[in-house]
Amino acid sequence: MDMHVGFKPRLQRYRFSFVIIVCVSVYLPCFWSIVTGKDFSVKAEDKNYQLSNKKMSLDEAIRTAIEKNPQLQSTMDQVDAAVGALRQSKLYPNPVLELLAEEIPSNEIGLNQSQNLVAITQPIITGGKRGLGIKVSEKAKEKNEFERDAVLLHIMADTKKAFYKAVADQEGLTIAKKVEEIAKVIYESEKLRFDAGEVAITNVLRAEVELSKARNLVSHAEGNLQNSIKELQTVMGIPEEIIDGVTGKLLSRPVELLLPELELTMTNNQPFLKASKKGIEIAETQLSLEKRQVIPDINVSAGYKRLALENIDTVQLGVEIPAPFFNRNQGNIQKGKALSKKAKNENLSVYNDLLFQLKRDFNSYNVERKRVAEYRDNILPKAEESLKLITKGYKEGEFDYIELLDAQRTWAETRISYIESLKSLNLIIADIERLAVTKIREQ
């Protein structure tokens, strides 16, 4: 008893010391990271832990792709470079400062007996060439911004398609597991009936084969889901992070679309087409600039010259004008005309290609939309009802194993075909939204 009383305060002291040590070991590194400005490694581990076992929504995937996709970041860097080029084009040429000492005697080092010149020369840009150069840089910046927006649409569309694939593959895995569950029930039922002497061994073997097929179907579906998630991670720009799955659903009742409206929105809003049109403006402005290059720039100079021997101070003024006798920029003017024509042809080619893609996707959209509606409203309910009736009749002895197996296969194939058609429809929707710069919603 005495020993216990004497030991208790000592234990509390040790416990208090232990708490102090733990607090110091935990909080001191954090405090040190704040003081030094360095990252604390536990934070990165916590961050990775939070990313694991996470299901991602479509909005989160698109937001992550906008922040992390390297291709999009590259186009943003290109826009920054164009901003720098525009800033540089607005700067006027620097003056030239000239210091010159002439006729220095060889027998005396110094400037007492030489002719000394201090002058400054300023280039004067004529013919409005500087304004045209600034205009070219402004249009180049705008073109880069449109190209950035076009890449943004591509990244968003690719993210949506990868996300829709993941959603479809998740649904496919659910169907595969359901098929495995049904096959397992049938196998166990046939085995019990065989043990009771009601069916032949062939029924058990067939049921076992179907169960093996169902398990292989589950393994295949799991592999497809892993690949689609990896594709989604790559598109988002986070290939090393862990995503457990996605949350969301595929559009099954999209609205009816009108091709003329899609063409109009594409013509007015498609950034890739706007970038192509901006290329025409750049080429034409550059051609005007090349034509203005015939007008020579002027160098104006002014200076002070000291004639030491004569003890005379002089002032010098000068104007330098190149004479365009031989080089009148003929080659660059011809090049500018060709590039202007090329830009117009490229713009027409871009428009025709975008219009072809839009019409192709529009036709595919209508086909898949009808298929999805047929599966959803007619085929799936009938396959579901057929499986229920035959399963009930099989348990009551009205149907044999073969009929049950056929009903099970029909149900599984119908569900899988519906998911594939639904996935194709949503992939087409993502492409139409990218081309027409619009949003397709449910009815």
SS3 420: helix
Q: What values do phi and psi take at 109, rounded to 5?
A: -90, 120
Whether pLDDT at 21 is above 60? no
pTM: 0.79
Whether pLDDT at 443 is above 80? yes
- Tell me what the mean pLDDT of segment 11-33 comes to: 36
Burial class of residue 366 (count of CB atoms within 10 Å of its CB; 0-12, 13-18, 19+): middle
pLDDT of residue 146: 97
pLDDT of residue 408: 86
Whether pLDDT at 29 is above 60? no
Show Cβ contacts of residue 420 under 8 Å, excluding neighbours closer than 6 positions.
168
CA 413 to chain centre: 35
Average pLDDT, the chain: 85
Number of Cα atoms under 13 Å in the Cβ half of residue 342: 9
pLDDT-based confidence at 287, cuts 50/70/90?
very high
pLDDT-based confidence at 403, cuts 50/70/90?
confident
pLDDT-based confidence at 113, cuts 50/70/90?
low
Q: What is the pLDDT of residues 59-110, one digit of tens each?
A: 999 999 999 999 999 999 999 999 999 999 999 999 999 988 777 776 766 6
Q: What is the pLDDT of residues 269-282, one digit of tens each?
A: 999 999 999 999 99
How far apart CA 285 and CA 70 sit, in angstroms, is 32
Kindly calculate the radius of gyration of the chain based on its CA atoms and give it in whole angstroms: 39
Q: What is the pLDDT of residues 32-63, one digit of tens each?
A: 333 333 333 333 333 333 444 578 999 999 99
pLDDT of residue 231: 94
Facing residues of 99 across strands? 118
DSSP 41-81: HHHHHHHHHHHTT-EE-HHHHHHHHHHH-HHHHHHHHHHHH
Q: What is the pLDDT of residues 348-390, one digit of tens each?
A: 999 999 999 999 999 999 999 999 999 999 999 999 999 899 8
pLDDT of residue 53: 54
pLDDT of residue 110: 64
Whether pLDDT at 313 is above 90? no
Q: Which of 233, 250, 249, 242 is nearest to 61 (CA)?
A: 233
How far apart CA 122 and CA 97 sit, in angstroms, is 9
Share of the chain above pLDDT 70, in %: 86
pLDDT of residue 111: 65
Q: What values do phi and psi take at 99, rounded to 5?
A: -120, 120
- Tell me what the mean pLDDT of segment 186-208 comes to: 87
- Which range, of 14-18, 246-250, 282-286, averages the lowest pLDDT? 14-18
Domains belonging to the chain, first-starting first, are: 52-91+125-294+329-436 (1.20.1600.10)
